[in-house]
Amino acid sequence: MTSDFSQIASSYVEELRARGTEIDAQRALPQDIADRLAQEGFYRLCTPNELGGMGAEPRVLAEVCEILATGNASTAWCVFIGATSQYMFPAVTPQLLKELLEQPNVITSGVFAYSGTATRSSDNPGHWIIDGRWDWGSGCHNAAWISGGVILCDETGGPILDTKDRPTEARAFFRPDEIEILDNWHTVGLRGSGSSSYTAHALELPDYRVATVEALRSSPFAKMPIYRFPRFGYLALPIGAIALGMARDAIDEALDVAKSKTPTGSGRTLSSRPAFHRDVALADSALRAARASFYADIATAWEEAQNGVGSLETRRLLRTSTVHAVTTAISIVDSMYTTVGGSSVYEDSALQRHFRDVHVASQHMMVAEPVMELAGRVISGTDDDAPGL
């Protein structure tokens, strides 16, 4: 399965490189590309077969995103968000699942952050009133269904507590015409991901359009390895994979440019200079080390998930190797951007695009600095639970 999906992803790389300017200018993934990726099954890679998905393991999603990112990171980002936004499918009602799968190759998008509320309607029993704003709504311009994290509230606006006396976390599922998608994705990088914010104002939805996290935990699917795999690790790992893909292509692009470029004031091509040799060797070594750690930790977590919920140590390693993949990729892209010189500043340069995209990717909360702070607390023994990992 892995090789099949990897081969399919590889077949898109040249087209994505050629259409990079178009993708950036549109500030969203062109619908024809999104539709074809959906037909390939990329938006439902890890969704269980019983729920209309391909049933792949997390490593496959990482590999697909890594390969697509060598051609265009925004495209890989939309696949990442589309695939992970189906994580809650086991929690939805049969009625909602039927609607979600009316189109078998459904394109989904969503934001996990609990940035909204779902308040029980006092006027219409069996309905929720949804209010909220969700940022970084990647892929929402292509999607048939868009979801957003909400906290459930009673008729008075007070939080409804779950079985552990915490505010109940849930996801509301929207059709695009039910929400307002804001034209606010004007960014330096990942321009083509279409990561616009979207809002809901006093939107009334029936009960079946809201699914709780507790329903996911009690679902028959909860014992499947994909749901025993560390949740936050799964939601974050495509970011590391996308960064690694950009780093690999940055090295390849630098090598290609160096063959024909003779720096000003030099009689030799860039590829014949010892300083360039050192830079690419260091970059390649760093990339291989970060990539090996990244995929090794995914494999360990997946092996543990076959028999039960993994250990805290496995969760820590998975999150930190993902963050390390991103920080290593930034260092590599920056190095290749610098070593190539002025050729990398033009918008049609792959190095220019990777430079912009990798720095925007690094700002995502799933790979931000607090992740390493939390991991450090685990290492130092001051946090033996760390649910955020």
Ordered by where they begin, the domains of the chain are: 2-84 (1.10.540.10), 108-213 (2.40.110.10), 229-379 (1.20.140.10)
Q: How confident is the model at residue 389 (pLDDT cuts 50, 70, 90)?
A: very high
pTM for the model stands at 0.96
Q: Chain centroid to CA 66: how far?
A: 11
Lowest mean pLDDT across 31-40, 71-80, 335-344: 335-344
Who has greater pLDDT, 29 or 309?
A: 29
Q: Which pLDDT score is estimated for 142?
A: 98
Q: Walk across the sheet containing 196-206 and list its strands.
A: 180-181, 196-206, 127-137, 108-120, 145-153, 169-174, 210-212
Distance in angstroms (rounded) separating the CA atoms of residues 292 and 290: 6
Q: Which pLDDT score is estimated for 264?
A: 62
